Chains A and B, each alone.
Chain A
Amino acid sequence: MSLRQKLLLLFSLTVAAAVAAVAWTVLIRVRHVFELRDQEETALFVSQFQREFQQQSTQVSGALSRLAETEHTRAMAFEIVQSGDAAPYLTEAQTMAQEAHLDFLEIIGPEAKVVSSAQWPARFGYAEPAVALPTPDAFLKYEDLPDGSRALGLFSVHAIPGAEPAVKLVGGRRLDQGFLADLPIAPGMAVGLYSDGGQANPSGAPAFDVRRLIGATGEFAAASHFQSLIDSSRTSGKQASQVLYLSDQREDSVNATAIPLKSDAGQVLAVLVVSFSRSSMVEAQQHIRNIAYGVAAAGILLAVVFSLWIAARVSRPIEQLALAAESVAGGDWDVRVPVNGSDEVSVLASSFNHMTEQLASQRNQLVQTERVAAWRELARRLAHELKNPLFPLQLTVENLIRARDLSPSDFDEVFRESTTALSMEIANLKTIIGRFSDFSKKPKPELEKIDAKSVIDRVRTLYESTAKQGNAGILFETDVAGDPMPLLADPELLHRALSNLVLNAMDAMPEGGKLTMSAHPSGDKIEFRVSDTGEGLTPEECQRLFTPYYTTKQHGTGLGLAIVQSVVADHAGTITVESSEGGGATFIITLPRADT
């Protein structure tokens, strides 16, 4: 990843993280505000419900009081007490309940038995335990109905004045759908009433029945989702609140509160459920989130633009420096980078330019120095090589001068020997000069497609017999792969290089041994190996072996392996040596395989 990309990523992440942090903070704050609002509305509703409940209690109590005070009711109570016959009033409660707009009304005779029941007329003669309750206030209780069901109602008990023993009225209103519909309900709010009819399963744990949760308009939407909340309130007897998700959609969720409705004995008879839709809050959150996403996207876009600008300011000089460094590494020491401004990057660029100038200067000096050293070395070698034949030449000439004093026959003898020696030494000088000439020529390779096997075969043909005819005899072996090994090479130069290696190997085994030539494919290259079983080379020798004029032979010029290395380099190949002292040496030439 480039510096520019890194900068881009860094700036983008930084801006996005900053925007996300701000959006998250705002969202949390919004949620907190909405939850506070919900809590306040719930508290307000609970307060309103309690007032409504109290009002209903007052209404029930007032209705009963007014009923009991009427002349007709008092006359009825008097007649019941006096005659002991309550049968004529069997349907009286129904009429009275209709007049007083009560859902439940029972006339209880002196023996605390039902005289007339509006809700269950057939219950006459049965005891009504509610009349024994000491409380003058309204209370909640379940009322049995003829169809076997039980209805939750808000009841009150009132004695009819003037009758002794007392004749009482027990009346109330049903806590049902109508009751819920009368409650003040804010937009987004839903109110439900869960009443289990006072039933509990045999294990004692309350069994939730979704059908028992009703709303102001009948069914309570998604009632099953309220089970845990209602059960919690029923079992604990305390108000409970919870966020309920009614579907997979977040906006389809509510803040729900369960308010237990208890009897005088503290038993939970029903649970009032108040829920506020969270859709507005979720929509607001979604809106804020969308804004945050928009701001984040704009921020990231700005970060991209900003990072591009920063790159122009920061990364471009660095990139120029990197390119210049690559050029220097590639050998172009004349490259320079522009210096703009006075910041750290400009100082770096200036230093780089100074460095390349110094390097170029030092390189020129080094070239000059090496050139002088090379001439000196060449002169030394040439002097050394020429000095050896010159000394015998000088002796022969001096011997000829002295031989003028000898007899003619002896002179002839000496003259013949001396001229022979002179001819030999002159030939020797020619050879030396020819080698130096060859090294200096360095012919240009003429590449053609050849097979490595043919190169090996040609060298073997040339030197196999010579090797066998030596003093100790050398076993010459070749190992060539069967598959074609095409090369793009100059066959003559390659032959000369391998021949040089073979001759070196034969020289390394004066006592005889085994010479092995091999050629094998190695990936996309062809590998030649020339191995001997001679005394081997020291590590130092291996390191210096390809240096021109370095030789381990007594009469070597030190140019053979330098020429081999030059030929291999001209073929885009490499040459290495593997050797251990006393374990022979192996020269490895690797050349690129030609495409078939």
Chain B
Amino acid sequence: MRWTVLRHFAISCLLVATTLQVAARTRPHYGGTLRVETAGDPWQKPDGVARRFVFDGLTTFDARGAVRPALATDWASDDADHRWQFRLRPGVHFHDGTLLTSVNVVASLNIACPQNCPWTAIHAVGPYVVFTADSPMPNLPALLATDEFLVALTISSDGKTPPATIGTGPFQFMGAKGGVLSFTAYESCWQGRPFVDVIEVRVNRSVRDQWLDLGVTKADVVDVPVESLHMAQQQRLDVTVSAPVQLLVLQVSDAAPLANPLLRSAISSAVDRIALANVVFQKQAQVSASLLPQMLTGYGFLFPTERDLNKARSLRGGLPSPQLTLRAEGDGAMQLAAQRIALDLHEAGFNVQVVRPDAARANLTLRLLPLEGSSPEAVLDVLLRRAGISIPTIGDDSAALYKAERAILDQHTLIPLLDLPAGSASSSRVRDLHLRADGAPDLAGVSLGDAP
């Protein structure tokens, strides 16, 4: 009996201790240095990894793509969306202590968008930032949530021009040394202090080296390009994959020698999307012939994705094939995809030469456009604006959206190819790593556990 009681007591103590220990491990705790490695420039627009934890926008997307308040607490439109006013969050300070004001915001946005802005004019009116435009801006809150319109300090309190790295985000830039950028937690962040004390970002690191560093616990968060997602999973990395957040498109110039829409249509039919998705992007991409993903609109299947080489040749007909140039923005898989598209077009009778990414002009451009947000109209608005295509007036219903998209695609200046996710891999000591709406890891919410 006594042994039985003692045994029950011991088991109970063990269970309590285990439960307490589990609770202690799951609760995030402050401190530590998060080591991030990236192949690109962390300050690069758009989507540089540092921009999102140094700067904030007036609005932001939540994980599901819905627009949420950020530096602006609320907003309202009138005059049929021709005028918007955003009320600034009070008590927000930049990293140098400068109080966030509507004047700062207006100055920052004017620098961020010197021309071809969604708005015609922007004004600071007390705690409000007021946007006005000649045409309606129904998706302005979503546009302001994108990376393009993050707010940085451009006028310091003493009237001097501050460094371009001062924002209101959870981490502030401390400096760079030996290719490593250091960011420390901003104690007075309006979102609250982040868990991690320091983020170190090692830049211009090849993916292969990033993975090696991750394997030997020298890195905590590393890039995983789309085409390497499968390999990363095979190598049993802790990979986080987003929903499709980017659209791979072939942007076709409508100027000579491709002024003829039939030639552009032939190009659209000649591209083998499936080969790109299955081989170049290792089955990690979704074939798409529509601008908006199927999951957003539900009508994506109406746009044929199959390659039709005969149709392409027929459309090209006997038209002479001038020397075309194709430029891919990005490296790695983007360049390979461009080479493949050049081969596809060669089969259809086009003479295409792939040029360097920094080439000034090209007849064809392979590029990635963002698919951020949960509102199809807003996503299309952001996407077309990034592509430099004039935005048509879009109705509220799906039919109108379909018609607008069909009208755009019928011009064959923007040929959708694939919907691509984003991915990253993290070490086992990284906790609560979530992806933002643009597929990038949300480092502000990360905490570090003990090393294994």
Query: Residues on A close to B: CB < 8 A?
Result: 86-88, 90, 120-126, 146-148
Contacts and interface: CB of A to CB of B under 8 A. Distances in A.
B275 A120 contact: no
B248 to A, nearest CB: 15
A148 B350 CA distance: 13
Nearest to B337: A122
Contact of B343 (A86, A90, A123, A147): A123
B231 interface: yes
B275 A88 contact: no
Contacts of B275: 124-125
Contacts of B336: 90, 121-122
Given A125-B275, A125-B279, A147-B353, A88 B340 contact: no
Interface residues of B, number: 16
B342 A122 contact: yes
Contacts of B354: 146-147
Nearest to A86: B279
18 contacts: A86-B279, A88-B230, A88-B231, A90-B279, A120-B339, A121-B339, A122-B337, A122-B343, A124-B275, A124-B279, A124-B340, A125-B279, A146-B339, A146-B342, A146-B354, A147-B353, A147-B354, A148-B353
Contacts of B279: 86-87, 90, 124-125
A122 B339 contact: yes
Interface in B331-351: 336-337, 339-340, 342-343
A314 to B, nearest CB: 89
B340 A87 contact: no
Interface in B216-274: 230-231
A581 B65 CA distance: 154
B280 interface: yes
Interface of B: 230-231, 275, 278-280, 282-283, 336-337, 339-340, 342-343, 353-354
A88 B336 CA distance: 15
User: Interface centre among A87, A88, A120, by most B CB within 10 Å?
Assistant: A87
A148 B339 CA distance: 11
Nearest to A121: B336
B282 A87 contact: yes
A125 B353 CA distance: 20
Nearest to A148: B353
Contacts of B339: 120-122, 146
B295 to A, nearest CB: 24
A146 B337 CA distance: 12
Given A88-B282, A121-B339, A122-B339, 5 more contacts: A121-B336, A122-B337, A123-B343, A146-B339, A148-B353
A148 B351 CA distance: 10
Contacts of A88: 230-231, 282
Contacts of B343: 122-123, 126
A25 B103 CA distance: 100
The 5 closest A-B pairs by CB, nearest first: A122-B339, A122-B340, A87-B279, A146-B339, A121-B336
Contact of A90 (B282, B342, B353): B282
A87 B278 contact: yes
Given A122-B336, A122-B342, A146-B339, A90 B280 contact: yes
B39 to A, nearest CB: 16
Nearest to B332: A91
A125 B275 CA distance: 9
Contacts of B278: 87
Contacts of A90: 279-280, 282, 336
Contacts of B280: 90, 122
Contacts of B231: 88
A298 to B, nearest CB: 71
Contacts of A147: 353-354
A348 to B, nearest CB: 98
A148 B354 CA distance: 9
B351 to A, nearest CB: 8
A122 B345 CA distance: 12
A87 B284 CA distance: 11
Nearest to B272: A125
Contacts of A86: 279
A507 to B, nearest CB: 122
Nearest to B230: A88
A122 to B, nearest CB: 3
A91 to B, nearest CB: 9
A124 B343 CA distance: 10
Contacts of B337: 122
Contacts of B283: 87
A239 B280 CA distance: 46
A265 B278 CA distance: 37
Contacts of A126: 343
A122 B332 CA distance: 12
A432 B339 CA distance: 145
B233 to A, nearest CB: 11
Nearest to B353: A148
B327 to A, nearest CB: 14
A501 B222 CA distance: 147
A127 to B, nearest CB: 12
A123 B337 CA distance: 11
A434 to B, nearest CB: 132
A126 B340 CA distance: 11
A114 to B, nearest CB: 11
A173 to B, nearest CB: 22
Nearest to B275: A125
A124 B280 CA distance: 9
Nearest to A125: B275
A90 B231 CA distance: 12
A406 B282 CA distance: 193
Nearest to A122: B339
Nearest to B231: A88
Contacts of A123: 343
A87 B281 CA distance: 9
A90 B279 CA distance: 7
A124 B279 CA distance: 8
B81 to A, nearest CB: 45
A125 B231 CA distance: 21
Contacts of A122: 280, 336-337, 339-340, 342-343
A126 B346 CA distance: 13
Nearest to A120: B339
A88 B231 CA distance: 8
A121 B354 CA distance: 14
Contacts of A124: 275, 279, 340
Contacts of A146: 339, 342, 354
B84 to A, nearest CB: 46
Contacts of A87: 278-279, 282-283
Nearest to A90: B279
A151 B339 CA distance: 17
Contacts of A120: 339
B143 to A, nearest CB: 36
B273 to A, nearest CB: 13
B451 to A, nearest CB: 31
A86 B278 CA distance: 10
A14 B353 CA distance: 75
Nearest to B344: A122
Q: Which of A87, A122, A123, A146 counts the most chain B CB atoms within 10 A?
A: A122
A120 B337 CA distance: 12
A121 B333 CA distance: 10
